[in-house]
Chain A
């Protein structure tokens, strides 16, 4: 077949793809008979109301000397690892605020960090395009340098996010500026699967975030600069199971809803959205009003244990809205509370038991928030 015939086929195929996508979009619109907020209002759900001291900053973790970019909790034992522009990972005891480890990184430009399920290793990645694994039982020298246990190399762009597969210390998933996600075998340092890429169906721009389902670790979602989120099945890497449209800007962050069948996203278009995995429906849009018409980029999100609250950090000084996910309303702004951050909140993480939220900020601190109100217990 000649090049000109190929180009003609290309044009015809492109038009067919566009028509099909349009048909799919129209059909989805027809199936969106309501959203979560309208449904909950119709059900007569009561709004969540916070008193002035219901959610308080219990701890401020001091120690980083640069912007905090990422944090992760252990599944148990209440420890946190954080990554900062100062080129260090710090491991904190969240209850006592003490640092247990401060790891100086070979590459200072770190963007993400994660705890292994057993809490014995931490992973990080960034502009060096590799994911480095450190064992917390290794001894640091006086500079704080801990030898790297394993380097996962193979990405052709920066590593934007990494997460261990739940209950598997030997596998983790990374997302990258090279438009792919990769499932790694940490033991061998090799790629198990590559999701997306130049000639596979997947993202068409930098991938910025991943989240793995806690109830089905074969599933994970990714968010990308191509304005979409994708659902992947690690057992079938050749193409995304489903692509979720709707956002009009980079999807900076994705997180699974606690039930494992929905997930939330946060985007440069200023909105957070809730999607249903199995149907592909966009169930709710959370858009703040004011502040530039609700166009402040969302940097990070986290769900509370029941999913009733969605915490969302925005790209301005310290704003962190707490959304009532059922009624679609902002019920609190952590940035307005006493002892709040002094700069942008760049990362959020909920503890495994849902009793505490950790926020990391460009003011170089981390803060832990917990319920500080009175409860009448029946």
Chain B
């Protein structure tokens, strides 16, 4: 009895009966779930077929349409005729009509303290648009302390915010609107915090700590790889890779 040797050893453990029983039974096989019809997949497939058949109808219509279409040369003629018939302020050519120039000249003369010289000068003979600053020197409208704003170029963007700290910085309002000290004009820490969900919470925003993970959290625009350095739930935290 070939199995005797196995069973003799097993007698000692007292498991002879159960091991004999185990070896005679087939291994357990869980039942596979019943096959339900994939209704969702079928409907989706039917929708795709419907779309394709609609596309076929559309393409057949296009083929009929194109039989009666004029050749490209007629369209090229239309383009050429349109371009030649219309004046262009940016093109260095002789112009016969001065209607456009007359409008700008009138505007220049009628609007005080608001020189449109840099745009107007193009209409006058022998002048250059080279960066003549407007004459707007009414600095009473400047929202700045001191005379820095009104040094003859009050309509420029030289910073007029008080330094070094500017708790009442009027950046982005009034006349002078640019501060080299960024923290002056941007009290929130959105620049340092890359987690967009923190933007509305001023204090916690500056302490938020985005962990970078190579996972895409949503469909990022165009350059998907680098755009999706985020573990944020909703938004991509790295717009720097927007490829446009």
Q: What residues make up the interface of A, taking CB atoms closer than 8 Å to B?
A: 1, 3, 6-7, 9-10, 13-14, 16-17, 20-21, 23-24, 27-28, 31-36, 39-40, 43, 45, 48-51, 53-56, 58-59, 61-63, 65, 67, 69, 85-88, 90, 95-99, 101-102, 106-109, 111, 127-128, 140, 143-144, 157-158, 160, 177, 199, 201, 206, 208, 225, 239, 242, 250, 252, 257-259, 261-262, 274, 276, 279-281, 283, 297, 299-300, 304-309, 315, 325-326, 346, 353-357, 370-378
- Min C-beta distance of B202 to chain A, whole Å: 9
Among residues of A, the one whose C-beta sits closest to the C-beta of B54 is A201
| Interface presence of B76 (CB below 8 A) | yes
Distance A201 CA – B80 CA, assembled complex (angstroms): 33
Q: A6-B46, A201-B54, A306-B86 are in contact. Are A106 and B200 (CB under 8 A)?
A: yes
Interface flag for B17 (CB, 8 Å): no
Question: Which of A3, A140, A160 has a CB less than 8 Å from the CB of B41?
Answer: A3
The answer to whether A58 touches B118 (Cβ under 8 A) is yes
CA–CA, A97 to B119, complex, Å?
Answer: 13
Closest beta carbon of chain A to B116's beta carbon, Å: 6
> Which of A21, A97, A374 interacts with B155 by CB under 8 Å?
A97
Q: A39-B77, A102-B177, A281-B75 are in contact. Are A306 and B222 (CB under 8 A)?
A: no
Contact of B52 among A14, A177, A250 (CB under 8 A): A14
Contacts of A378 in B (CB 8 A): 94-96
Shortest distance from the beta carbon of B51 to any chain A beta carbon, whole Å: 6
A276 to B92, CA, bound (A): 27
Q: Which 3 A-B pairs have the closest CB atoms?
A: A102-B172, A372-B129, A13-B52
- B122 touching A98, Cβ below 8 Å: no
Our pick among A3, A158, A306 for the contact of B87 (Cβ within 8 Å) is A306
12 new A-B contacts at CB < 8 Å, known A304-B90, A306-B91: A36-B79, A36-B80, A65-B182, A97-B157, A98-B155, A106-B199, A111-B242, A143-B188, A208-B222, A307-B86, A373-B122, A374-B125
In the bound assembly, the distance between CA atoms of A17 and B93 in angstroms comes to 50
Partner among A40, A53, A373 whose Cβ is within 8 Å of the Cβ of B80 = A40
B56 adjacent to chain A (CB < 8 Å): yes
The tally of residues in B whose CB lies under 8 Å from a CB in A reads 93
* Nearest chain B CB to A152 CB, angstrom units: 18
Mark interface residues in B206-243 (1 if CB within 8 Å of A CB, else 0): 00000000000001011000000000000110011011
Cα distance A178–B181 when bound, in Å?
39
One of B4-12, B28-36, B66-74 at the interface: B66-74
CB 8 Å contact bits of B53-68 with A (1 = contact, 0 = none): 1111011101100110
The residue from A199, A299, A346, A355 contacting B119, defined by CB atoms under 8 A apart: A355
Q: Which residues of B sit under 8 angstroms from A377, Cβ to Cβ?
A: 94-95, 98, 101, 123, 125
Report how far A56 CA is from B90 CA in the complex, Å.
Answer: 10
Tell me the bound Cα distance from A14 to B126 in angstroms: 65
In the complex, which residues of chain A have a beta carbon less than 8 angstroms from the beta carbon of B95?
A: 375, 377-378
Say whether A239 contacts B190, CB under 8 Å.
no
Residues on the B chain within 8 Å of A371, using CB: 89-92, 122, 129
**Which of A157, A208, A355 touches B90 (beta carbons < 8 Å)?**
A355
